[in-house]
Amino acid sequence: MISGLVQQGQFNEALHFFNDMQRIGLRPDNVTLVAVLNACSNLGKLELGKWVNVYIDKNQIKADGFVGNALVDMYAKCGSAEQAFGVFQRMECKDVFSYTAMIVGFAMNGEVERALDIFVGMKMVGIKPDEVTFVGVLSTCSHAEMVEEGWRHFEDMSKVYNLEPQTEHYGCMVDLLGRAGLISEAEVFIANMPIGPDAFVWGALLGACSIYGKVELGEAIVKKLVAIEPIRDGAYILMSNIYSSANRWKEIVCKKFKIIKNQLSILDQTV
């Protein structure tokens, strides 16, 4: 029941059921513990996650495999990269999911060098990275504006590991180029994509427009985003930030009005 609720994204409900289990004295199995840790990850419930960790240690449950991976993921997503790394180090059997969780964990917490060190260590022990691993690696390079290294990892996906880049990877590359101020290069990159850019890719470029005040390009991207996802307040907010940096206050008012109009439209549909 708890696992099913977590899979459906009903994290609070899952934790309520777990509390009921504890109240009537039912012992959770490993599948339940992993589901609870996943719920904690998504809700940022660090203290409950720590309690589950104590329960695992107290009951001498081996924190390897999917239990260990869930612990690493929980600590990382709750902002405790050091505790995630502690669990990772104690794991006797690490797999691609273990390394990926740690790479993403360090990346999320701004530990760029450590994230890339884990990636190097992963390859040294002969574990092949997967698509999710490369999302973590490319995101790390993006936040550190490591353009050359990001390009190398992106190209290695297909050339070395026979992995086909997906929209998430293309979006990471657009974000990398955009953050580094290489807006034109990002546009060319999108134009040459073998798959159609989605909202994630365009959103990454819009984010760069927000950083560097590219008003006209930002307007064009917002039109594309609205065509893909008509109700997308985030795009209007970013565009407002671009106008603000360019001192175009009239357009800000128009964008804010559109956000309010969309919200009212949603309310009308629910009444």
Rounded to 5°, angle at Cα 225 from 110 and 271: 105
Q: Tokens in use for 210?
A: 């927000």
pLDDT, position 116: 96
Full-model pTM: 0.81
Rounded to 5°, angle at Cα 159 from 158 and 162: 45
Rounded Cα distance, 194 and 188, in Å:
12
Q: Which residues of the chain form CATH 1.25.40.10?
A: 166-271
* Burial class (CB within 10 angstroms; exposed 0-12, middle 13-18, buried 19+) of 61: middle
Q: Which CATH number fits domain 166-271: 2.60.40.10, 3.40.50.970, 1.10.10.10, 1.25.40.10?
A: 1.25.40.10
pLDDT string in tens for the chain (271-residue length): 888 889 889 999 999 999 999 899 899 999 999 999 999 999 999 999 999 999 999 999 988 889 999 999 999 999 999 999 999 999 999 999 999 999 999 988 889 999 999 999 999 999 999 999 999 999 999 989 999 999 999 999 999 999 999 999 999 999 999 999 999 999 999 999 999 999 889 989 988 988 898 888 988 888 888 788 765 555 555 555 555 544 443 444 344 444 434 544 544 454 4
Rounded Cα distance, 10 and 50, in Å:
21
pLDDT, position 45: 95
Q: Tokens in use for 7?
A: 């899979």
pLDDT, position 233: 58
Give phi and psi for 94, each to the nearest 5: -105, 140
Rounded Cα distance, 199 and 66, in Å:
32
